[in-house]
Structure 1
């Protein structure tokens, strides 16, 4: 069975909150990097602090990790999502990274069928087509060999998007587990994955050793940790109550948040092509948010059998 939907407004809003957190997270990560702390170490440190807080707030949730073997897959998927996205937005163009990350709806459609039994409805496929058309309009500039990754940032963004799609689907499969246990699993996965990849990359000379931060940077890291905790909790609420395709499309609003914040900070320039593609992406997300509730219930019900 799947959890009952309490109405679409609340889960859609929760996903939008998570999208906002991810969409503007590039700024604090770049600020921490300007103080010499690589995003992998920043992710590991921030998530470790969040885990310490969760250990105090939810001490009874930790034993639940051992009682659900699929939690390990959630840990791995969430960990690779953070490694891919957090590293990519600090070494690549913010808007391009977010757009490559949001090929995620395509991965969700491909993964939701075999893992959840959710066959995409015709309306979901139309919304997916509209959203991906927007991504194509933005990315396929003249002379750009899309979709082949051109850089480390491109590859990391694609890895992060695929992993995030898998994370959303696993959240639906694990909807019976306590929410606190899922939150802990995701932050633990982020901590372990960032630490492991950082250690390996440091051994290859790709990542510098971690450094101590001044007080101002520590405050930024603390606020980033709180934001990630809020975003994760919002994702838990929203993704567990909507079909995977809907979750993926609503989360496309991250493109808007990242683009606007990058432009306001002088970190990106939006062309007419980007504005047009962004409009298509937002239109698809809005369509998904206000689609008939019965469509999501019909898709989600297929996973109950």
Structure 2
């Protein structure tokens, strides 16, 4: 059982994010726009982190390179939360999981890692999946851009920012994990607050409603879930190989698809299922080089963290 605990911890984190669309939509229905909801939730988590990890909070303020990580993580959250609260949940999650494809291009650009033939195959599969999800049946491929809705663009942008976040995490891997965690939650709060103020000023979002017990409890529950989910991620990722962690985290697609379909927030059309299968396959292929590398290292791989 102890060996299974890290897997269950990662599954809990995937469950939190896969089902986060429901409280976000509940808050939106109560008049709290997803951007304001994200700002409020991340403020609550950040306050706890600052009290619990004051040294890490000071380190973040004094380390400019962590501000890049904060910006990327913050943009990831506002794009994903905004999209999943308003769009088709399965479609949003699938487009968001283009992240492994973006990682290939970003690693080439920022880390000087040229793509391998397998990486190029992943790109081809991922973007073929997007074409199936986005382009209407019978329409030419040239309709790809016109088939994207505003929530689709947010989902794709969120996946790109998530890939950028992962690249920065690799680039700053010598920085203490606690400092990086504070940076990511700080970015979530700051970017969501700036985005919410801008959207409200441009009449894209309404001002926050007066505090009410109903939606405040939902926001508090979501903040607690995000915090516990992050703890689960830290616990599981520190005890499992990086490839295993990435594989388990793909269960977020399953949790999001099942929960949204059962509650009528998504439609599982054949084209979407086929496109989703290609996108998930591209993500799975990203694990092959890691697994081959880990196989040559023997049992020591179980001690590696991502």
Taking structure 2 as the reference length, the TM-score comes to 0.80
For residue 206 of structure 1, what is the aligned residue in structure 2?
A: 204
Shift in Å, 1:41: 0.7
Q: Which of 162, 165, 179 lines up with 1:164 in the alignment? A: 162
- The 5 Å alignment of 1:285-304 reads 285-289=283-287, 293-295=291-293
CA contact (8 A) 2:94 2:276 kept: no
Pair 1:114–1:250, CA change in 2 (3 A): farther
Q: Flag structure 2 segments of 5+ consecutive residues without an equivalent.
A: 297-306
Cα root mean square deviation, aligned: 3.3
For residue 141 of structure 1, what is the aligned residue in structure 2?
A: 136
In 1, Cα distance between the equivalents of 2:229 and 2:107? 22
In 2, Cα distance between the equivalents of 1:132 and 1:261? 25
CA contact (8 A) 2:12 2:229 kept: yes
In 2, Cα distance between the equivalents of 1:63 and 1:184? 10
Pair 1:285–1:162, CA change in 2 (3 A): closer
For residue 183 of structure 1, what is the aligned residue in structure 2?
A: 181
For residue 82 of structure 1, what is the aligned residue in structure 2?
A: 77
Shift in Å, 1:93: 1.8
For residue 23 of structure 1, what is the aligned residue in structure 2?
A: 18
State which drifts further: 111-120 or 11-20.
11-20
In 2, Cα distance between the equivalents of 1:80 and 1:105? 17
Shift in Å, 1:189: 0.8
1:33-59 per-position Cα deviation (integer Å, ceiling 9, x unaligned): 111111111100000000111112212
CA contact (8 A) 1:10 1:238 kept: no
For residue 119 of structure 1, what is the aligned residue in structure 2?
A: 114
For residue 3 of structure 1, what is the aligned residue in structure 2?
A: none
SS at match of 1:189: helix
Shift in Å, 1:185: 0.8
In 1, Cα distance between the equivalents of 2:233 and 2:113? 19
Pair 1:129–1:14, CA change in 2 (3 A): farther
SS at match of 2:204: coil
1:183-226 per-position Cα deviation (integer Å, ceiling 9, x unaligned): 11111111111111111111121111112343343232122112
Shift in Å, 1:247: 8.1
In 1, Cα distance between the equivalents of 2:111 and 2:294? 13
Shift in Å, 1:124: 3.8
SS at match of 1:211: coil
Between the two proteins, the alignment pairs up a number of residues equal to 288
Q: Flag structure 1 segments of 5+ consecutive residues without an equivalent.
A: 1-8, 299-305
Taking structure 1 as the reference length, the TM-score comes to 0.80
State which drifts further: 184-193 or 129-138.
129-138
Q: Which of 56, 61, 64 lines up with 2:56 in the alignment? A: 61
Q: Which of 238, 248, 258 lines up with 2:256 in the alignment? A: 258
